Structure 1
Amino acid sequence: MRSDSSSKQMHWNQQRITAFTLIELLVVIAIIAIL
């Protein structure tokens, strides 16, 4: 049971990291476009 919850947490962290990278890419593209 414990390992199941930890694996779920890892999956959520992965999704969060993916979302963060996408946002970072958009910000970088926006900055380049402005410059």
Structure 2
Amino acid sequence: MIHEHRRHASRCGRHQFTLIELLIVISIIAI
């Protein structure tokens, strides 16, 4: 059970990272 939870957290983190990267790219374009 713990292993599964860890896997899910990793997936969530990866998704969040992508969102942050997209925000940074948009910010750079806006500037």
TM class, shorter-length: 0.7 to 0.9
Q: How far is 1:7 from its partner?
A: 1.1
2:18 aligns with: 21
Over 6 Å off, 4+ runs: none
| TM score, norm. by length of structure 2 | 0.84
Unaligned segments of structure 2, at least 5 residues: none
Percent identical: 45
CA RMSD of aligned residues (A): 0.6
Matches within 5 A, 1:1-35: 4-34=1-31
Unaligned segments of structure 1, at least 5 residues: none
Q: Give, in whole Å, the separation in 1 of the partners of 2:2 and 2:19.
A: 26
